Protein backbone atom coordinates (compact mmCIF):
# COMPACT_ATOMS: atom_id res chain seq x y z
CA UNK A 1 0.00 0.00 0.00
CA UNK A 2 1.27 3.49 -0.91
CA UNK A 3 0.78 6.60 1.23
CA UNK A 4 2.55 9.84 2.02
CA UNK A 5 3.63 11.06 5.44
CA UNK A 6 0.12 12.45 5.98
CA UNK A 7 -1.31 8.97 5.39
CA UNK A 8 -2.97 9.92 2.10
CA UNK A 9 -2.03 10.39 -1.54
CA UNK A 10 -2.57 14.14 -1.80
CA UNK A 11 0.18 16.61 -2.69
CA UNK A 12 0.38 20.19 -3.93
CA UNK A 13 1.60 21.58 -7.23
CA UNK A 14 5.24 22.77 -7.08
CA UNK A 15 6.08 20.42 -4.21
CA UNK A 16 9.65 19.11 -4.26
CA UNK A 17 11.48 16.08 -2.90
CA UNK A 18 8.39 14.22 -1.72
CA UNK A 19 8.23 10.50 -1.13
CA UNK A 20 5.75 7.73 -0.51
CA UNK A 21 5.76 5.08 2.18
CA UNK A 22 5.45 1.62 0.66
CA UNK A 23 3.85 -0.61 3.26
CA UNK A 24 4.43 -4.36 2.95
CA UNK A 25 6.76 -3.78 0.01
CA UNK A 26 10.42 -4.90 -0.16
CA UNK A 27 13.14 -2.59 -1.35
CA UNK A 28 14.22 -2.62 -4.97
CA UNK A 29 10.67 -2.89 -6.35
CA UNK A 30 9.79 -0.76 -9.37
CA UNK A 31 7.18 1.96 -8.91
CA UNK A 32 5.77 3.33 -12.18
CA UNK A 33 4.50 6.92 -12.34
CA UNK A 34 2.39 7.47 -15.49
CA UNK A 35 2.77 11.04 -16.73
CA UNK A 36 1.82 12.35 -20.19
CA UNK A 37 2.00 8.88 -21.78
CA UNK A 38 5.45 8.38 -20.26
CA UNK A 39 6.37 5.90 -17.58
CA UNK A 40 8.74 7.30 -14.95
CA UNK A 41 10.26 4.33 -13.14
CA UNK A 42 11.62 4.65 -9.60
CA UNK A 43 12.88 2.01 -7.17
CA UNK A 44 11.85 1.50 -3.56
CA UNK A 45 14.52 1.71 -0.87
CA UNK A 46 14.88 1.06 2.87
CA UNK A 47 15.51 3.81 5.39
CA UNK A 48 15.23 3.30 9.16
CA UNK A 49 13.44 -0.01 8.55
CA UNK A 50 10.79 1.71 6.43
CA UNK A 51 10.38 1.27 2.68
CA UNK A 52 10.07 4.44 0.59
CA UNK A 53 9.96 5.58 -3.01
CA UNK A 54 10.81 9.10 -4.17
CA UNK A 55 8.20 10.92 -6.25
CA UNK A 56 9.90 12.52 -9.30
CA UNK A 57 9.78 16.29 -8.95
CA UNK A 58 8.51 16.60 -12.52
CA UNK A 59 5.21 15.09 -11.32
CA UNK A 60 4.50 18.30 -9.40
CA UNK A 61 4.90 20.62 -12.37
CA UNK A 62 1.15 20.59 -12.96
CA UNK A 63 -2.01 19.81 -11.02
CA UNK A 64 -4.27 16.84 -11.65
CA UNK A 65 -4.11 13.09 -11.12
CA UNK A 66 -1.13 10.78 -11.59
CA UNK A 67 -1.49 7.00 -11.75
CA UNK A 68 1.06 4.98 -9.80
CA UNK A 69 1.69 1.24 -10.09
CA UNK A 70 3.77 -1.19 -8.08
CA UNK A 71 5.44 -3.35 -10.70
CA UNK A 72 6.84 -6.74 -9.80
CA UNK A 73 9.38 -8.47 -12.03
CA UNK A 74 10.66 -12.01 -12.13
CA UNK A 75 13.24 -12.79 -14.76
CA UNK A 76 12.02 -11.23 -17.98
CA UNK A 77 8.37 -11.23 -16.87
CA UNK A 78 6.54 -8.57 -14.92
CA UNK A 79 3.10 -7.42 -13.87
CA UNK A 80 1.40 -4.56 -12.04
CA UNK A 81 0.56 -5.52 -8.45
CA UNK A 82 -1.28 -2.42 -7.25
CA UNK A 83 -2.70 0.80 -8.72
CA UNK A 84 -2.94 4.09 -6.79
CA UNK A 85 -3.74 7.66 -7.83
CA UNK A 86 -1.86 10.71 -6.60
CA UNK A 87 -3.89 13.92 -6.40
CA UNK A 88 -1.88 17.04 -7.17
CA UNK A 89 -3.82 20.06 -5.90
CA UNK A 90 -3.27 23.39 -7.70
CA UNK A 91 -1.52 26.30 -6.05
CA UNK A 92 0.48 29.39 -7.06
CA UNK A 93 4.11 28.86 -7.94
CA UNK A 94 6.34 29.94 -5.01
CA UNK A 95 8.68 32.82 -5.80
CA UNK A 96 11.71 30.87 -4.58
CA UNK A 97 10.82 27.68 -6.47
CA UNK A 98 13.75 25.97 -8.18
CA UNK A 99 13.24 22.79 -10.17
CA UNK A 100 15.73 19.99 -9.52
CA UNK A 101 15.76 16.58 -11.14
CA UNK A 102 14.97 13.88 -8.58
CA UNK A 103 18.40 12.35 -7.71
CA UNK A 104 17.42 8.75 -8.49
CA UNK A 105 15.35 9.81 -11.47
CA UNK A 106 17.90 8.27 -13.79
CA UNK A 107 16.07 5.01 -13.34
CA UNK A 108 13.66 6.47 -15.87
CA UNK A 109 16.10 4.94 -18.31
CA UNK A 110 13.95 1.84 -17.93
CA UNK A 111 11.05 2.97 -20.03
CA UNK A 112 8.89 5.40 -21.92
CA UNK A 113 5.49 4.19 -23.04
CA UNK A 114 5.15 4.13 -26.81
CA UNK A 115 2.00 4.68 -28.83
CA UNK A 116 1.23 1.72 -31.10
CA UNK A 117 -0.02 4.09 -33.79
CA UNK A 118 3.49 5.45 -34.25
CA UNK A 119 5.14 2.06 -34.62
CA UNK A 120 2.65 -0.28 -36.27
CA UNK A 121 3.95 -3.79 -36.53
CA UNK A 122 6.55 -3.30 -33.79
CA UNK A 123 4.51 -4.82 -30.97
CA UNK A 124 7.24 -7.26 -30.04
CA UNK A 125 9.63 -4.35 -29.39
CA UNK A 126 7.02 -2.33 -27.56
CA UNK A 127 6.23 -5.25 -25.31
CA UNK A 128 9.90 -5.53 -24.41
CA UNK A 129 9.79 -2.09 -22.76
CA UNK A 130 8.00 -3.51 -19.71
CA UNK A 131 10.01 -6.72 -19.66
CA UNK A 132 13.53 -5.32 -19.78
CA UNK A 133 16.06 -6.48 -17.23
CA UNK A 134 18.91 -4.06 -16.68
CA UNK A 135 22.51 -4.26 -15.65
CA UNK A 136 22.57 -2.76 -12.15
CA UNK A 137 26.26 -1.88 -12.53
CA UNK A 138 25.41 0.12 -15.63
CA UNK A 139 22.65 1.99 -13.80
CA UNK A 140 24.99 2.72 -10.93
CA UNK A 141 27.59 4.19 -13.30
CA UNK A 142 24.91 6.35 -14.93
CA UNK A 143 23.82 7.70 -11.56
CA UNK A 144 27.42 8.40 -10.61
CA UNK A 145 28.15 10.13 -13.91
CA UNK A 146 30.97 7.70 -14.75
CA UNK A 147 29.35 5.86 -17.67
CA UNK A 148 31.59 6.09 -20.76
CA UNK A 149 29.91 3.46 -22.94
CA UNK A 150 26.15 3.01 -22.83
CA UNK A 151 25.30 -0.50 -23.98
CA UNK A 152 22.50 -3.00 -23.46
CA UNK A 153 20.31 -5.22 -25.60
CA UNK A 154 17.39 -4.80 -23.18
CA UNK A 155 17.24 -1.00 -23.31
CA UNK A 156 14.44 0.00 -25.65
CA UNK A 157 14.02 3.67 -24.68
CA UNK A 158 16.09 6.34 -22.98
CA UNK A 159 14.08 9.01 -21.20
CA UNK A 160 14.49 12.79 -20.98
CA UNK A 161 17.67 14.48 -19.74
CA UNK A 162 19.39 11.26 -18.54
CA UNK A 163 22.78 12.27 -20.00
CA UNK A 164 22.20 16.02 -20.34
CA UNK A 165 25.57 17.85 -20.44
CA UNK A 166 27.38 14.62 -19.57
CA UNK A 167 31.08 15.00 -20.47
CA UNK A 168 32.04 11.39 -19.69
CA UNK A 169 29.92 9.51 -22.21
CA UNK A 170 31.79 8.51 -25.38
CA UNK A 171 29.66 5.90 -27.13
CA UNK A 172 26.10 4.63 -27.31
CA UNK A 173 25.38 1.09 -28.56
CA UNK A 174 21.73 0.15 -28.06
CA UNK A 175 20.67 -2.34 -30.76
CA UNK A 176 17.01 -2.46 -29.66
CA UNK A 177 16.42 1.13 -28.62
CA UNK A 178 13.43 2.65 -30.43
CA UNK A 179 13.06 6.03 -28.73
CA UNK A 180 15.32 8.79 -27.40
CA UNK A 181 13.71 11.47 -25.20
CA UNK A 182 13.99 15.24 -24.88
CA UNK A 183 17.59 16.45 -24.54
CA UNK A 184 18.62 12.93 -23.54
CA UNK A 185 22.17 13.32 -24.87
CA UNK A 186 22.17 17.10 -25.31
CA UNK A 187 25.53 18.64 -24.51
CA UNK A 188 27.46 15.34 -24.49
CA UNK A 189 30.52 17.02 -25.96
CA UNK A 190 32.68 13.87 -25.97
CA UNK A 191 30.10 11.52 -27.49
CA UNK A 192 31.77 10.16 -30.64
CA UNK A 193 29.84 7.03 -31.64
CA UNK A 194 26.15 6.21 -32.04
CA UNK A 195 24.87 2.72 -32.84
CA UNK A 196 21.07 2.84 -32.81
CA UNK A 197 19.96 0.68 -35.75
CA UNK A 198 16.36 0.30 -34.53
CA UNK A 199 15.78 3.91 -33.48
CA UNK A 200 12.42 5.16 -34.79
CA UNK A 201 11.76 8.31 -32.80
CA UNK A 202 13.73 11.14 -31.21
CA UNK A 203 12.22 13.94 -29.18
CA UNK A 204 13.41 17.55 -29.12
CA UNK A 205 17.17 18.23 -28.89
CA UNK A 206 17.97 14.54 -28.40
CA UNK A 207 21.59 14.96 -29.60
CA UNK A 208 21.96 18.76 -29.71
CA UNK A 209 25.44 20.17 -29.07
CA UNK A 210 27.15 16.78 -29.28
CA UNK A 211 30.17 18.52 -30.68
CA UNK A 212 32.32 15.38 -31.22
CA UNK A 213 29.86 13.47 -33.43
CA UNK A 214 31.23 13.11 -36.98
CA UNK A 215 28.81 10.65 -38.61
CA UNK A 216 25.27 9.55 -37.84
CA UNK A 217 23.72 6.35 -39.21
CA UNK A 218 20.05 6.05 -38.24
CA UNK A 219 18.51 4.09 -41.12
CA UNK A 220 15.16 3.46 -39.37
CA UNK A 221 14.54 6.91 -37.89
CA UNK A 222 11.04 7.91 -39.02
CA UNK A 223 10.21 10.84 -36.74
CA UNK A 224 12.60 13.41 -35.28
CA UNK A 225 12.04 16.26 -32.85
CA UNK A 226 13.12 19.86 -33.29
CA UNK A 227 16.84 20.67 -32.91
CA UNK A 228 17.76 16.97 -32.98
CA UNK A 229 21.38 17.60 -34.06
CA UNK A 230 21.53 21.35 -33.58
CA UNK A 231 25.03 22.50 -32.69
CA UNK A 232 26.79 19.27 -33.69
CA UNK A 233 29.65 21.28 -35.16
CA UNK A 234 31.78 18.33 -36.36
CA UNK A 235 28.95 16.34 -37.94
CA UNK A 236 29.93 15.65 -41.57
CA UNK A 237 27.34 13.13 -42.76
CA UNK A 238 23.97 11.76 -41.71
CA UNK A 239 22.22 8.66 -43.02
CA UNK A 240 18.47 9.13 -42.52
CA UNK A 241 16.96 6.95 -45.22
CA UNK A 242 13.58 6.44 -43.51
CA UNK A 243 12.99 10.04 -42.50
CA UNK A 244 10.24 11.91 -44.36
CA UNK A 245 10.23 15.25 -42.53
CA UNK A 246 13.16 17.37 -41.37
CA UNK A 247 11.92 19.38 -38.37
CA UNK A 248 12.72 22.91 -37.25
CA UNK A 249 16.45 23.52 -36.68
CA UNK A 250 17.34 19.84 -37.03
CA UNK A 251 20.87 20.63 -38.32
CA UNK A 252 21.10 24.23 -37.13
CA UNK A 253 24.77 25.26 -36.75
CA UNK A 254 26.13 21.95 -38.06
CA UNK A 255 29.06 23.77 -39.58
CA UNK A 256 30.79 20.67 -41.01
CA UNK A 257 27.75 18.98 -42.56
CA UNK A 258 28.38 18.01 -46.20
CA UNK A 259 26.26 14.92 -46.85
CA UNK A 260 22.69 14.01 -46.01
CA UNK A 261 21.48 10.63 -47.26
CA UNK A 262 17.71 10.48 -47.65
CA UNK A 263 15.11 9.05 -50.03
CA UNK A 264 11.74 10.70 -49.52
CA UNK A 265 11.87 13.98 -47.59
CA UNK A 266 8.45 15.62 -47.90
CA UNK A 267 8.95 18.72 -45.76
CA UNK A 268 11.70 20.80 -44.17
CA UNK A 269 11.19 23.09 -41.18
CA UNK A 270 12.47 26.61 -40.64
CA UNK A 271 16.13 27.03 -39.64
CA UNK A 272 16.69 23.34 -40.49
CA UNK A 273 20.12 23.97 -42.11
CA UNK A 274 20.83 27.39 -40.63
CA UNK A 275 24.55 28.18 -40.78
CA UNK A 276 25.56 24.82 -42.28
CA UNK A 277 28.60 26.48 -43.78
CA UNK A 278 30.09 23.34 -45.41
CA UNK A 279 26.96 22.23 -47.28
CA UNK A 280 27.67 22.56 -51.02
CA UNK A 281 24.56 21.23 -52.78
CA UNK A 282 21.07 20.09 -51.90
CA UNK A 283 18.47 18.04 -53.74
CA UNK A 284 14.97 17.66 -52.34
CA UNK A 285 12.70 16.54 -55.20
CA UNK A 286 9.49 16.21 -53.16
CA UNK A 287 9.23 19.28 -50.92
CA UNK A 288 6.77 22.03 -51.86
CA UNK A 289 8.07 24.99 -49.85
CA UNK A 290 11.17 26.45 -48.29
CA UNK A 291 10.39 27.88 -44.88
CA UNK A 292 11.92 30.82 -43.04
CA UNK A 293 15.74 30.76 -42.90
CA UNK A 294 15.87 27.09 -43.84
CA UNK A 295 19.24 27.48 -45.59
CA UNK A 296 20.22 30.85 -44.15
CA UNK A 297 23.97 31.50 -44.14
CA UNK A 298 24.91 28.25 -45.91
CA UNK A 299 27.88 30.10 -47.35
CA UNK A 300 29.33 27.14 -49.31
CA UNK A 301 26.04 26.15 -50.97
CA UNK A 302 26.41 26.32 -54.77
CA UNK A 303 23.22 24.74 -56.11
CA UNK A 304 19.74 23.74 -55.00
CA UNK A 305 17.54 21.29 -56.88
CA UNK A 306 13.99 21.77 -55.57
CA UNK A 307 11.73 21.02 -58.57
CA UNK A 308 8.39 21.00 -56.70
CA UNK A 309 8.91 24.05 -54.52
CA UNK A 310 6.26 26.75 -55.06
CA UNK A 311 7.22 29.23 -52.35
CA UNK A 312 10.36 30.39 -50.58
CA UNK A 313 9.80 32.19 -47.28
CA UNK A 314 11.76 35.12 -45.93
CA UNK A 315 15.52 34.62 -45.76
CA UNK A 316 15.04 31.07 -47.10
CA UNK A 317 18.42 31.21 -48.89
CA UNK A 318 19.62 34.48 -47.36
CA UNK A 319 23.36 34.77 -46.98
CA UNK A 320 24.16 31.87 -49.32
CA UNK A 321 27.04 33.81 -50.84
CA UNK A 322 28.24 30.93 -53.08
CA UNK A 323 24.81 30.00 -54.46
CA UNK A 324 24.91 30.09 -58.26
CA UNK A 325 21.80 28.27 -59.49
CA UNK A 326 18.35 27.35 -58.23
CA UNK A 327 16.30 24.73 -60.07
CA UNK A 328 12.73 25.49 -59.04
CA UNK A 329 10.56 25.47 -62.18
CA UNK A 330 7.29 25.61 -60.18
CA UNK A 331 8.33 28.54 -57.99
CA UNK A 332 5.55 31.10 -57.62
CA UNK A 333 6.23 33.17 -54.49
CA UNK A 334 9.56 34.67 -53.44
CA UNK A 335 9.44 35.98 -49.88
CA UNK A 336 11.09 38.97 -48.22
CA UNK A 337 14.90 38.76 -48.34
CA UNK A 338 14.62 35.21 -49.74
CA UNK A 339 17.93 35.52 -51.66
CA UNK A 340 19.48 38.49 -49.89
CA UNK A 341 23.28 38.60 -50.22
CA UNK A 342 23.38 35.68 -52.65
CA UNK A 343 26.31 37.33 -54.37
CA UNK A 344 27.01 34.49 -56.82
CA UNK A 345 23.45 33.86 -58.00
CA UNK A 346 23.26 33.91 -61.79
CA UNK A 347 20.23 31.76 -62.56
CA UNK A 348 16.80 31.08 -61.10
CA UNK A 349 13.70 29.72 -62.81
CA UNK A 350 11.32 32.65 -63.16
CA UNK A 351 8.72 31.46 -65.64
CA UNK A 352 6.00 30.73 -63.05
CA UNK A 353 6.83 33.39 -60.46
CA UNK A 354 3.77 35.51 -59.65
CA UNK A 355 4.95 37.38 -56.54
CA UNK A 356 8.29 38.87 -55.56
CA UNK A 357 8.37 40.47 -52.11
CA UNK A 358 10.52 43.26 -50.70
CA UNK A 359 14.31 42.91 -50.83
CA UNK A 360 13.89 39.40 -52.27
CA UNK A 361 17.10 39.66 -54.33
CA UNK A 362 18.91 42.27 -52.23
CA UNK A 363 22.61 42.47 -53.16
CA UNK A 364 22.52 39.66 -55.71
CA UNK A 365 25.45 41.29 -57.44
CA UNK A 366 26.00 38.59 -60.10
CA UNK A 367 22.42 38.62 -61.41
CA UNK A 368 22.47 40.19 -64.88
CA UNK A 369 19.01 39.49 -66.28
CA UNK A 370 15.49 38.71 -65.03
CA UNK A 371 12.40 37.85 -67.00
CA UNK A 372 8.93 37.12 -65.67
CA UNK A 373 6.00 35.76 -67.67
CA UNK A 374 3.33 35.48 -64.96
CA UNK A 375 4.32 38.23 -62.52
CA UNK A 376 1.39 39.81 -60.66
CA UNK A 377 2.99 41.57 -57.67
CA UNK A 378 6.44 43.16 -57.44
CA UNK A 379 7.31 44.71 -54.07
CA UNK A 380 9.66 47.55 -53.23
CA UNK A 381 13.45 47.16 -53.27
CA UNK A 382 13.07 43.65 -54.72
CA UNK A 383 16.30 44.01 -56.71
CA UNK A 384 18.10 46.62 -54.64
CA UNK A 385 21.89 46.28 -54.81
CA UNK A 386 21.81 44.10 -57.93
CA UNK A 387 24.59 46.15 -59.48
CA UNK A 388 25.10 43.87 -62.53
CA UNK A 389 21.43 43.72 -63.47
CA UNK A 390 21.03 45.12 -66.98
CA UNK A 391 17.77 43.70 -68.26
CA UNK A 392 14.38 43.02 -66.70
CA UNK A 393 11.17 41.96 -68.43
CA UNK A 394 7.72 42.30 -66.85
CA UNK A 395 4.55 40.88 -68.45
CA UNK A 396 1.19 42.57 -68.87
CA UNK A 397 -0.14 40.36 -66.07
CA UNK A 398 1.50 42.64 -63.45
CA UNK A 399 -1.25 44.01 -61.22
CA UNK A 400 0.75 45.74 -58.50
CA UNK A 401 4.17 47.32 -58.23
CA UNK A 402 4.74 48.40 -54.64
CA UNK A 403 7.13 51.29 -54.14
| Residue 129 dihedral angles phi and psi, to the nearest 5° | -55, -45
Computed over every residue of the chain, the mean pLDDT equals: 83
pLDDT digits (tens, 9 = 90+) for 322-336: 999 999 999 999 999
Q: What is the model's pLDDT at position 349? A: 82
Q: Identify the weakest region by mean pLDDT among 194-203, 347-356, 389-398.
A: 389-398
CA dihedral 53, 54, 58, 62 (to 10 degrees): 70
Q: What is the model's pLDDT at position 233? A: 97
Predicted confidence band at 311 (pLDDT cuts at 50, 70, 90)?
Answer: very high
Q: What is the model's pLDDT at position 102? A: 58
pLDDT digits (tens, 9 = 90+) for 271-303: 999 999 999 999 999 999 999 999 999 999 999
| Domain 111-271, CATH | 3.80.10.10
Q: What is the model's pLDDT at position 123? A: 39
Among residues 38, 42, 18, 40, the alpha carbon closest in space to that of 30 is found at 42
> Mean pLDDT across the stretch 308-332?
96
> Mean pLDDT across the stretch 21-27?
75
- The sign of the dihedral angle between the CA atoms of 6, 8, 14, 17 is positive
Q: What is the model's pLDDT at position 129? A: 35
3-state helix, strand, coil split of the chain in percent (to 5) is: 5, 30, 65
| Residue 119 dihedral angles phi and psi, to the nearest 5° | -125, 65
State yes or no: pLDDT of 340 exceeds 70.
yes
> Mean pLDDT across the stretch 70-88?
76
State yes or no: pLDDT of 241 exceeds 60.
yes
Give the containing element (helix H, strand E) for 399: none
Predicted confidence band at 395 (pLDDT cuts at 50, 70, 90)?
Answer: low
> Mean pLDDT across the stretch 25-33?
75
Q: Which three-class secondary structure state does DSSP give residue 139?
A: helix
The CATH 3.80.10.10 domain(s) of the chain lie at 111-271, 280-403
The CATH 2.60.40.10 domain(s) of the chain lie at 2-100
> Mean pLDDT across the stretch 48-73?
84
Question: What architecture (CATH level 2) is domain 280-403?
Answer: Alpha-Beta Horseshoe (3.80)
- Rounded distance between C-alpha atoms, residue 305 and residue 320, angstroms: 15
| Domain 2-100, CATH | 2.60.40.10
- For the entire predicted model, the pTM comes to 0.68
Q: What is the model's pLDDT at position 138? A: 62
Point out which residues pair with 347 in neighbouring strands.
Answer: 325
Amino acid sequence: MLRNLRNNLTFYQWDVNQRLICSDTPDGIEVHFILNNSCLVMLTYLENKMCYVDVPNIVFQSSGSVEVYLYLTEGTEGHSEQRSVLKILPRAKPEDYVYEETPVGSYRLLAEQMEHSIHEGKDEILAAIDQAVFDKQLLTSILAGTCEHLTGDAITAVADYIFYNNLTLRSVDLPNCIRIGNQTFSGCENLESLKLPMLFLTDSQAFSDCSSLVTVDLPNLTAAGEHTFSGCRKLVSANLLALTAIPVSMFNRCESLKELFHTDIQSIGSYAFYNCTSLEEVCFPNISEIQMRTFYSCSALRSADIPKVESIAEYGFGGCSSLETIHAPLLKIVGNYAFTNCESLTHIDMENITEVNSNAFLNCTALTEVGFRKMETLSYYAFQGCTALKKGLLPLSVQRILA
